[in-house]
Amino acid sequence: MSLSSAFATIPTTKPFSTSAALSSSFLLRLPVKRLSALSLNASSSKPPLVSASMEAGVGVMGTKLGMMSYFDSSGTVIPVTVVGFREGNIVTQVKTEATDGYDAVQVGTGGYETGN
């Protein structure tokens, strides 16, 4: 799925309240859905299966490009972070209760350079 088609299906809600009135559409709060815990069998020889699902909710990963200033309607300066987005999020690490003491999935995006 491309990012443009994913953004076309994002539902909009009322802006969240902050000390400064931020009404830009990209600052709207999105509905959050909780992930169900991974059911992992420690005695199984197979690695845990991790798959992408729309049940996880809407989310993107990006790279920080820098900072800039945003001026609201009353002239208050609000510092904002500029984030660049690309397609291609990948699972980089799976932690399990048996090996790490908790269940977690680490997701990454972008390329990397080989070490040394």
For tokens 């972008």, the residue is: 110
Could you report the per-residue pLDDT of 40-70, keeping only the tens digit for each? 444 556 665 555 555 555 566 778 889 999 9
Residue 66 inside a domain? The answer is: yes
| CA 28 – CA 15 distance, rounded (Å) | 5
Closest CA to 22 of 80, 92, 109, 90: 80
- Residue 95's CB: how many other CB atoms inside 10 A? 15
Provide the domain count of the chain: 1
- Mean pLDDT for the stretch of residues 91-96: 83
Q: Residue 25 belongs to what domain range?
A: 3-36+47-108
Residue 79 inside a domain? The answer is: yes
Least confident span in 16-25, 40-49, 87-96, 101-110: 16-25
From residue 60, alpha-carbon distances to 7, 24, 89 in Å are 10, 18, 8
| CA 114 – CA 35 distance, rounded (Å) | 32
